[in-house]
């Protein structure tokens, strides 16, 4: 099966690996030529543009960094001669998704809204959460490929944009969990509690959440700050979620404050760093670190 794939960043490359290992003959484009090399070595075809990929494959997947890039790439894809189905895996929000849909549909291409959750590690393990929205026949055509990258696949509707909204709901909860867990752990560390023991208590109590279960033990207690996603990406997703809430007339008292904290961390120069680095802002204010003592 000839598949196109656009965007070989941390998430994109991990997803493309799974697709290639499942038997897809990949047609690829990414401005970073070094990212293409491992795939070409295994038989993939590197192209010089997104349009060239869309000239070679009926189904094209995209996993890109921002709404602006997604819109630009969609225009290139719409000029392709072979592509009939465009799978937008990027997290860009409803308004940008609508622009992408309009662009590709003008070229006779069907769009499936298909954001994913679980990070590069989950992509490589095939355990991502995949959220899809789009015409039923299009969802059915890509589902076998989605099953190679995802453990949980949710079809949330026939209208592109609904999957984007679900992904932003998830990411808002994730961002709030991290912010509140980091803040409370800094409090405990300032008062003399052992960071490892605090996490152990939380993870068998009502304070348990994804931050305490995975992010803090792996990347904060160890001081590695290497969970796999940049702080800037988290800020982007939170801001997209708040814009969706504003458009729908939904007050966001808590998440508005969470968004301010994440933006402040980015303004302190932590944007390119791993998103778990946000705790450093809170640690700096309190004059304490949340690290294993062992």
Residues 38-66: pLDDT tens digits? Answer: 999 999 999 999 999 999 999 999 999 89
Block residue for tokens 């904290």: 261
Mean pLDDT value across residues 254-273: 98
Mean pLDDT value across residues 14-36: 96
| 66 and 198 fall within a common domain | no
| 84 and 155 fall within a common domain | yes
CA distances from 159 to 34, 136, 263, 278 (A): 36, 10, 31, 35
| 183 and 257 fall within a common domain | yes
Q: Which of 124, 159, 194 is the last residue of a domain?
A: 159
Q: What CATH number did the domain enclosing 245 receive?
A: 1.10.1040.10
Q: Does residue 188 fall inside a structural domain?
A: yes
Mean pLDDT value across residues 213-225: 97
pLDDT at 120: 83
Q: Does residue 292 fall inside a structural domain?
A: no
Q: Are 116 and 150 in contact (CB under 8 A)?
A: yes
Q: Does residue 291 fall inside a structural domain?
A: no
| 221 and 122 fall within a common domain | no
Residue 249 has pLDDT above 90, yes or no: yes
CA dist., res. 64 & res. 276, Å (int): 21
pLDDT band, residue 257 (cuts 50/70/90): very high
Number of domains observed in the structure of the chain: 2
pLDDT at 1: 84
CA dist., res. 49 & res. 55, Å (int): 10
Q: Is 143 exposed, middle or buried (0-12, 13-18, 19+ CB in 10 A)?
A: middle
Q: Does residue 83 fall inside a structural domain?
A: yes
| 144 and 200 fall within a common domain | no
Q: From its phi and psi, is residue 169 left (phi > 0), alpha (psi between -120 and 50) or beta?
A: alpha
Active-site residues, by number, are 167
pLDDT at 235: 97
Q: What CATH number did the domain enclosing 26 receive?
A: 3.40.50.720
pLDDT band, residue 28 (cuts 50/70/90): very high
Q: Which of 159, 183, 217 is the last residue of a domain?
A: 159
| 132 and 228 fall within a common domain | no
**92, 150, 130, 84: which is closest to 111 by C-alpha?**
84
**125, 142, 124: which is closest to 133 by C-alpha?**
142
Portion of the chain with pLDDT greater than 70, in percent: 100
Block residue for tokens 């068998």: 204
Q: Does residue 136 fall inside a structural domain?
A: yes
Q: What angle do CA 31, 36, 37 make, to 5 degrees?
A: 135
| 142 and 175 fall within a common domain | no
pLDDT at 140: 97
Q: Which of 137, 159, 181 is the last residue of a domain?
A: 159
| 182 and 137 fall within a common domain | no
CA dist., res. 195 & res. 174, Å (int): 21
Residues spanned by the domain of 210: 165-286
Q: Are 278 and 178 in contact (CB under 8 A)?
A: yes
More confident residue, 1 or 230: 230
Residues 91-127: pLDDT tens digits? Answer: 999 999 999 999 999 999 999 999 999 888 888 899 9
């Amino acid at each position: 099966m000839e598949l196109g794939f656009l965007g070989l960043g941390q998430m994109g490359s991990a997803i493309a690996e799974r697709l290639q290992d499942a038997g897809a003959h990949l047609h690829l484009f990414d401005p970073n030529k070094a990212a293409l090399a491992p795939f070409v070595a295994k038989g993939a075809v590197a192209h010089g543009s997104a349009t060239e990929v869309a000239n070679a494959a009926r189904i094209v997947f995209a996993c890109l960094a921002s709404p602006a890039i997604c819109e630009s790439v969609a225009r290139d894809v719409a000029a392709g001669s072979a592509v009939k189905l465009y799978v937008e895996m990027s997290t860009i929000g409803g308004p940008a998704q609508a622009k992408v849909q309009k662009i590709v549909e003008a070229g006779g291409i069907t769009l499936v809204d298909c954001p994913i959750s679980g990070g590069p590690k989950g992509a490589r393990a095939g355990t991502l959460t995949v959220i899809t929205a789009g015409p039923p026949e299009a969802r059915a055509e890509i589902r076998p490929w989605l099953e190679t990258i995802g453990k949980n696949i949710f079809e949330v509707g026939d209208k592109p944009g609904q999957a984007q909204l679900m992904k932003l709901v998830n990411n808002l909860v994730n961002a709030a969990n991290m912010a509140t867990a980091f803040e409370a752990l800094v409090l405990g560390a300032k008062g003399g509690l052992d960071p490892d023991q605090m996490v152990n208590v939380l993870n068998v109590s009502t304070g348990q959440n994804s931050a305490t279960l995975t992010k803090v033990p792996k990347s904060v207690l160890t001081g590695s700050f290497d969970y796999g996603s940049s702080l800037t990406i988290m800020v982007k997703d939170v801001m997209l979620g708040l814009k969706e809430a504003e458009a729908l007339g939904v007050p966001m008292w808590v998440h508005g404050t969470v968004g301010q904290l994440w933006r402040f961390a980015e303004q302190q120069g932590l944007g390119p760093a791993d998103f778990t680095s946000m705790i450093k802002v809170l640690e700096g204010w309190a004059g304490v670190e949340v690290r294993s003592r062992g």
